[in-house]
Structure 1
């Protein structure tokens, strides 16, 4: 997949001016520690609204333009379909906080998270051997909208993101 030049969005309840990877400290997310974005504004907006419901903070969506050229020295992992490698990566990170993508700079997955808990429920069944890998993958294929997520895991990767303003839900765009 050609990533260079994409517009990406980050939904959050936090106000910030620069990406600080030290604040991206949850290693038990799908691809571990990193700054998560999507190419879908609506997906980022939904995530921000969901997070802000838990606090009094305003929901924000930050917009970034990814540089046209991604340097060859950066390691990119792409999960373009549901398969056992993808499932094991997600399970390893959610359970142990480590996986095959730990040495990566950018991880791309065109099937991002869902708020329904469907992924978590299916993965728990997989972990308890109620489902095997193929059954788990089949459940996930059926219920998910076509979404994506990008995880920028290193300073070198984050440096490719150029800020393009932010949107506060209920207020509009700020440049």
Structure 2
């Protein structure tokens, strides 16, 4: 069965030809092209991104044939998710070449992670406490397209300015 998803990317410009190499490697799931199925969340991202320049732009895509040969890594709001995000945010992934996912999907961590990561690193906070502080249920889920293969399944539908 073929399954397609409508996804959004908030930016300060139109992004008809996305790249997996433009985001920060210290994002939740590392370098990749980030999207969400939550339109309102993407609009918030667009407004935040355009704060320093550009026009808040909601880019709309269709992720085609999701049930295809793409390799997914799915996270729930659990300790594995916390560990993965901390490893990405601190550049301490054991061997990034061992991760062969085309798409990583899971909760968005609260943007104020620096103190949480520092406290976990110095033993002042447990991973269970970090999970609560990272507020995984406060935001929509995110998709991070990690490979060119994943981008081949992404069709740009259009854009809206705010």
Q: TM-score if structure 2 supplies the norm length?
A: 0.86
Matched, 1:105 2:102: yes
1:139 paired with 2:148, answer no
Which runs of no fewer than 5 residues in structure 2 stay unpaired? Answer: none
Moved over 3 A (4+): 97-102
Conserved 8 A contact 2:73-2:103? yes
User: Where in structure 2 are the equivalents of 1:6-155 lying within 5 Å?
Assistant: 6-22=5-21, 24-53=22-51, 55-72=52-69, 74-83=70-79, 85-96=80-91, 98=93, 102-109=99-106, 111-115=107-111, 117=112, 119-141=113-135, 144-155=137-148
Label 1:155 to 1:97 Cα distance change in 2 as closer, same or farther (>3 A): farther
RMSD of aligned alpha carbons: 2.2
Q: Deviations over 1:16-41 (max 9, x none)?
A: 3211233x242111111100000001
Question: Is the Cα contact below 8 Å between 1:8 and 1:65 reproduced in 2?
Answer: yes
Is there any run of 5+ residues in structure 1 with no aligned partner, and where? 170-175
Whole-Å separation in 2 of the counterparts to 1:62 and 1:114: 23
TM normalised by structure 1 equals: 0.80
